[in-house]
Amino acid sequence: MEEESLIAFYLQDEWSMQLNDRLSIDEIKEKLSQHVHYLINHDFGRLINMLYKMDVSESKLKYLLKENAGGNAGDIIAGLIIERQLQKIQTKKNSKQDNAESGEEKW
């Protein structure tokens, strides 16, 4: 599965978003930014819980928000969410490749 599809599936499953699995990263980011903006205004606690659950870097988030004061917080947070999901996808790919090379059995 392509990275875009994996991210779209994650957002559908965990964030209750309705996304087409054929969207580009930029289109996903735009829709996620709108969703994050909604959560900022209507369910901030859920947003914080989701970011914590995803292990989005709090220090990086604070830094980016401070550096871009007056900017679109939804865009900044959406970018961090996508960045974190891409990291997780890459880690999983590397783990599968390492297991295949070492001949280890999967659980």
Average pLDDT, consecutive stretches of 10 residues, N- to C-terminus, the chain (107 residues): 87 91 91 97 96 95 94 96 95 80 59
Q: Is residue 33 part of a domain?
A: yes
Q: Is residue 67 part of a domain?
A: yes
Q: Is residue 14 part of a domain?
A: yes
Q: Is residue 34 part of a domain?
A: yes
pLDDT at 101: 65
CA distances from 62 to 69, 73, 85, 94 (A): 10, 11, 19, 29
From the number of C-beta atoms within 10 Å of its C-beta (0-12, 13-18, 19+), residue 6 rates as: middle
pLDDT at 94: 87
Q: Is residue 100 part of a domain?
A: no
Those residues with Cβ within 8 angstroms of residue 31's Cβ, 6 or more apart along the chain or in another chain:
17, 19, 23
CB 33 within 8 A of CB 78: yes
Number of domains in the chain: 1
pLDDT at 106: 52
CB 49 within 8 A of CB 58: no
Q: pTM for this structure?
A: 0.85
Q: Is residue 21 part of a domain?
A: yes
Q: Is residue 84 part of a domain?
A: yes
Range of the domain at 18: 3-94
Q: Is residue 107 part of a domain?
A: no
